[in-house]
Structure 1
Amino acid sequence: MKSATLNTPDKFDTSRASEYGTQSRIALAGYDACHDLAACMLAATLGNAGAAKILVVGAGGTAQEIIAMARLEPHWRFTAVDPSAPMLAAATQQLEAHQLLDRTDIVHGDVEGLVAAQSYDAATLIGVLHHVPGDDAKHQLLRSIHAHLKPGAPLIVAGNRHAYASQPLLLQAWGQRWRQQGASPDEVKVKLGKILQGADPPHSEAAVQKLLHDAGFGDTTQFFSSLFWGAWLTYKTA
């Protein structure tokens, strides 16, 4: 994987792909609501766009953003990009179950591997940015998305913000969320340990905004929040 992609594909192996849908819905309270609202925000922004083309970066796992958008907008088409073969296979199964394969181009790889001339009416980057290590790689990923968007096109960004250890109350509440779903104290401890070691989220909402500004996007509109998680809409401005 290149530095502008979604983090090493090995992190999202077959074992993780098989449990991704269940685990994500526990880790993110409001998982489905966030994806539904992301679809609503893009539909409200694009208006009567007809057959809009949407770039979905990090589509592997549940393909929930595509499912939500397709349900709302029957004429939209999607390009689903993910560097993890197991995660992309899991997403493909979901798209097949929802009869969406004929509306989706599936790309195993990264944004940099897309045809240079291909441009999109909008893009989503949901649950990805906090898995990309370092600000330079985050910036490069956002710039790669920027290069494939039409002028003024909207981008949905959603993911964790804040250094986890900097928000002990939120971290404890996250542990209680797992306990609420039946995890034992030892299992909670293991999960929180993995969380602390396994991701590199932007350290604040201001940091998210700076990354977007530096990559050529405008101010954000936040439309969802859940513990560490935030979701924003922005636009290509430069």
Structure 2
Amino acid sequence: MKKCPQCGFENQPHNQFCKQCGAKLTADEDQPMTREAAKEKSSKRKRKVIYLVIAIILILILVLFGIAQATGKHSSKSPASTSPKTEKKASSVAKKSPTTAASSTAASANSGRQTAIQTMPDVNTKNLTTQQVNKWVYANIMADWNKNNTDEPPLTPADQDAFIFGQSTDDHGCVEIQVQENHQSAFMKSIHADPESTPTIGWYRINAQGYLQQGAPGSDNWNTIAQNYQEP
């Protein structure tokens, strides 16, 4: 019999609802279970056990994986494993330092000597001022000096007063330029030039085509050294 939990009325075992109050009846726990119900209950317990075992295995796998990763990271960051590489790198830097320093010094020296010469092709070289003629000649003197006198201080655009430029016109109407060293200038004093002399270092001219040439006065042997106007 099923006893109603609401009103206490005893109903037949197959009744689902109380005949007296209509309340839903629960299974009588004292009633023996059928074979099918027992199997179903046993199956549910087995499934729960299997699910629990699988969950435990997955948790153990995750824990072991995490431990392995932590151990690997610790080993890679260990001072014992990195110190040889660090020492080797420091040694390489130490070996290269003198070469790097020498290269830097050489680069600095070369940059001081390789003073840029500005080429100005749009300037009319047949109609130059006296100042432009002197600058054009000095640009080539400066380039030659810095190339051939590597054991001396380099000439810069500010050192044009180290030379004296004397201009004249020859029989063909070409402008001739006599260049002498000015031993009273700061640059010539820095290289200990004889203060009592002003030697001529070369002759230049601008021919009828407007080309800058180098040679000797009264001679037809003039070599063209620049066709476009230049300034240091």
Tell me which interval the TM-score lies in, with the shorter structure as reference length. under 0.3
> Which structure exhibits the higher relative contact order, with contacts defined as CA atoms closer than 8 Å and separated by 6 or more residues?
1
* Structure of greater Rg: 2
